[in-house]
Structure 1
Amino acid sequence: MPCLNEAETLAVCIDKAQGYLQRSGVVGEVLIADNGSTDGSQQIARDHGARVVDIAEKGYGSALMGGIEAARGTYIIMGDADDSYDFSALDNFVERLRAGDELVMGNRFRGGIEPGAMPPLHKYLGNPVLSWIGRVLFRSPIKDFHCGLRGFRRQSMLDLHLQTTGMEFASEVVVKSTLGGLRVSEVPTTLKKDGRSRPPHLRSWRDGWRHLRFLLIFSPRWLFLWPGSVAFFLGLIGTLSIAFGPFMLGSVGFDGATQVYLAALTVVGYQAILFAILTKIYAQREGFRIPRSRSFDKLEKRISLESGALAGAILFVIGLVIAIVQLVQWSSSGFGELDATVTVRVSVLASLVMMLGAQTMMAGMFLGVLGVGLKRRP
């Protein structure tokens, strides 16, 4: 149980867990991962037979990860120490763990949410929406991503190299377990109103945003690659089309002004694509994405500082040649007045190709930075 000033409810939670161990015959311990309590929670835990581990680094995720590392059992069931979950009713979790599941999530929407136990904002918007996004992005079977009561195989969690320190740790466990091919399941869980007189540590908008940010950044394909690809190809096709002259779409005509905006759309889309690729490479090298994508591994091997710089240089030179041809044509006319519309069309195209080339070269250089070998501290 993660703990930060839970003196009001900690004892009853520990007693319920101890009672379950005795009743079920499960060999285990109650471990309190204390995150700097100042209300005497540590002594209360010891008085009720629990082992206390002090976790110096602040945060929900830090406390849980510290507890996981300090635990001695093969399996762990974690839950909040606010008496909102019933630690005397864990049979469903133990049954699924013994059946071979590596992560067993509680589902409060299936088990029941008592009146006042969950704010309406969380019940009808926050949890359902974030869980739906997680299922869509990662093809996860879990329908309650943020249930605080869950069981898992300890070594399986350690192998996932969990990183986050805040409330988004709850999402990270589900996402990485799904990506890692772990056996995942859900069991009904009842949520009741917690027994504390003070407000919860959870901050709805701040922590909700952290969960959403984690889900989106952890899936750059949906956030950057697909939208960026649509923007890039739409902008590029439009820019090239107008470079050869204005065209009509029904009764609407498109010319130089439209081309400028389409070129900007192309640049933004291309930047999104590059960001998605670089984010994925960084995540793979840091061990964030599990398992590694074989198709992306092949692409990564073909992308390097040198190949990026070469491709970027070729694009830049093409744009520069177009610009030089324009300059020569201008000089041949004695640097006199030009057809502004035609000149702008070609200038926009030349500028776009040079910008894409520069972006490609810089992306290649950044990839080179990611590839610098560093000695990792233990």
Structure 2
Amino acid sequence: MPTLNEEQGIAECVRRIKNALVDLEMTGEIIVSDSSTDRTPEIANALGARVVVPDKPGYGYAYMYAFERARGDYIAIGDADCTYDFEELPKLYDLVANGDADMAMGSRLEGEILPGSMPKLHEHIGNPLLTKFLNVFYRAGVSDAHSGMRVFSKDALETMDLQSTGMEFASEMIMEAGAKDLEIEEIPITYHPREGEATLESFSDGWRHVKFMLVNAPGQLFSIPGMLLGALGMLVMGLAYTGVQLGPASLGLNSMIAGSLMTLVGYQVASLGAFATVASDPIQKANDPFTTWLTQRVSLERGATIGLAVFAAGAAYAALVVGQWFTAGFASIPVAEANIAAFTAIILGIQMIFGSFFLSSIAE
């Protein structure tokens, strides 16, 4: 249990954990990773818990500091504010010990949330939304991704490469488990009102979770939106260039300009997915066709050659337009859809050339 001034709840939590160990008919240790300025460590120590003091701040760091000192084959975690009833631990432990799961979690949203236990904003918007993010991005398949009551094996802990020192640690554990194909199972639990003052900051901590999820999933953050935007842009350009009617409407010069911008921005955003995948070693690497092709099939020489070919095609037409302008005595030449397509190809080719050099440099 990580503790920060939990003197009102720590004694009851330790009592419930002892009852759970009696029910399981097994020995265990209770580790309190403490950063308190009140009587929490004295109370925990008097009740037989091992109190360790992390040498750095942070919710996630407190957990990792305790994990390094844990001696059991199985680890249970939870908050020390009495919101989780640790007497429910045996049913989570059984799932892991019997081999039905690498990690077992208590689901508050599938269980019972007692009145006054969780703000309505968290219950109906915050936790469901963050859980949806994790399920979509990391295939976690859970109903309550931010439940703090969990049991997992020491082997599962070693498989997960946990690094976060802050509140996003709870998300990282699920993200790592999903990315490493660990089996996660849930059991409904009862969530109780907390004892003592709350230390969670709803919006700032929620944003930290969202930001952490996004930057560790460059496919969903960059590649997929970029490909969709680029494909839409090329479609709009194609319709505008060919003059195809869409019912009573026809796309013209303004649509061609909009399509050009969407194509260029789409390619740039999608390429960021490849750069992030190669450079940042995210938890969930982008595996969409564009990023896979760009990172695994395209060498510096091949990418630069493709970019040069696209640039040359656009530059050839642009040179023709400049020649017409010169022979017309520098008279004004109307902007046509073909002109926009040519200059789009020029810019896209330049992006491809320099992007290939950049991808090669960060991959080395």
2:314 maps to which residue?
319
- Mapped to 2, the partners of 1:176 and 1:14 lie a distance apart of 29
SS in 2 for 1:108: strand
**What are structure 2's unaligned runs of at least 5 residues?**
none
Question: What are the superposed Cα offsets for residues 330-352 of structure 1, whole Å, 9 maximum, x if unpaired?
Answer: 222232232x133xx23322221
| 1:91 Cα deviation after fit | 1.1
Confirm whether residue 38 of structure 1 aligns to residue 33 of structure 2.
no
Aligned 8 A contact 1:8 1:195 in 2: yes
Question: What are the superposed Cα offsets for residues 68-104 of structure 1, whole Å, 9 maximum, x if unpaired?
Answer: 2221111100000111111233110121111112100
What root-mean-square deviation, in Å, do the aligned CA atoms of Structure 1 and Structure 2 show? Answer: 2.5
- Mapped to 1, the partners of 2:53 and 2:173 lie a distance apart of 22
In structure 2, relative to structure 1, the CA distance for the partners of 1:287 and 1:219 (3 Å cut) is closer
1:376 maps to which residue?
none
- Mapped to 2, the partners of 1:232 and 1:45 lie a distance apart of 58
Confirm whether residue 258 of structure 1 aligns to residue 252 of structure 2.
no
Confirm whether residue 139 of structure 1 aligns to residue 139 of structure 2.
yes
| 1:215 Cα deviation after fit | 3.1
In structure 2, relative to structure 1, the CA distance for the partners of 1:43 and 1:314 (3 Å cut) is farther
- Mapped to 1, the partners of 2:229 and 2:284 lie a distance apart of 26
Question: What are the superposed Cα offsets for residues 111-165 of structure 1, whole Å, 9 maximum, x if unpaired?
Answer: 3111100111111111122223322333332111011101111231222212222
- Mapped to 2, the partners of 1:306 and 1:9 lie a distance apart of 63
Query: Does 135-144 or 114-123 show the bigger shift?
Result: 135-144
2:332 maps to which residue?
337
Q: Which amino acid aligns with 1:253?
A: S
Give matches, 1:111-260, under 5 Å: 111-196=111-196, 198=197, 200-243=198-241, 246-260=243-257
Aligned 8 A contact 1:69 1:158 in 2: no
Q: Kindly, what percent of the aligned residue pairs are identical?
A: 33
SS in 2 for 1:147: coil
Q: Which amino acid aligns with 1:109?
A: L
| 1:23 Cα deviation after fit | 4.4
| 1:209 Cα deviation after fit | 2.1
SS in 2 for 1:33: strand
| 1:297 Cα deviation after fit | 6.3
Question: What are the superposed Cα offsets for residues 276-295 of structure 1, whole Å, 9 maximum, x if unpaired?
Answer: 22233345xx36238x9698
In structure 2, relative to structure 1, the CA distance for the partners of 1:5 and 1:305 (3 Å cut) is farther
- Mapped to 2, the partners of 1:75 and 1:274 lie a distance apart of 42
- Mapped to 2, the partners of 1:73 and 1:303 lie a distance apart of 47
Question: What are the superposed Cα offsets for residues 329-377 of structure 1, whole Å, 9 maximum, x if unpaired?
Answer: 2222232232x133xx2332222112212222333233234223xxxxx
Aligned 8 A contact 1:68 1:154 in 2: no
- Mapped to 2, the partners of 1:312 and 1:320 lie a distance apart of 12
Q: Which amino acid aligns with 1:360?
A: M
Aligned 8 A contact 1:17 1:87 in 2: yes
**What are structure 1's unaligned runs of at least 5 residues?**
373-378
In structure 2, relative to structure 1, the CA distance for the partners of 1:294 and 1:63 (3 Å cut) is same
Aligned 8 A contact 2:239 2:251 in 1: no
For this pair of structures, how many residues does the alignment match?
Answer: 362
| 1:240 Cα deviation after fit | 4.1
2:363 maps to which residue?
371
Q: TM-score, normalised by structure 2?
A: 0.90
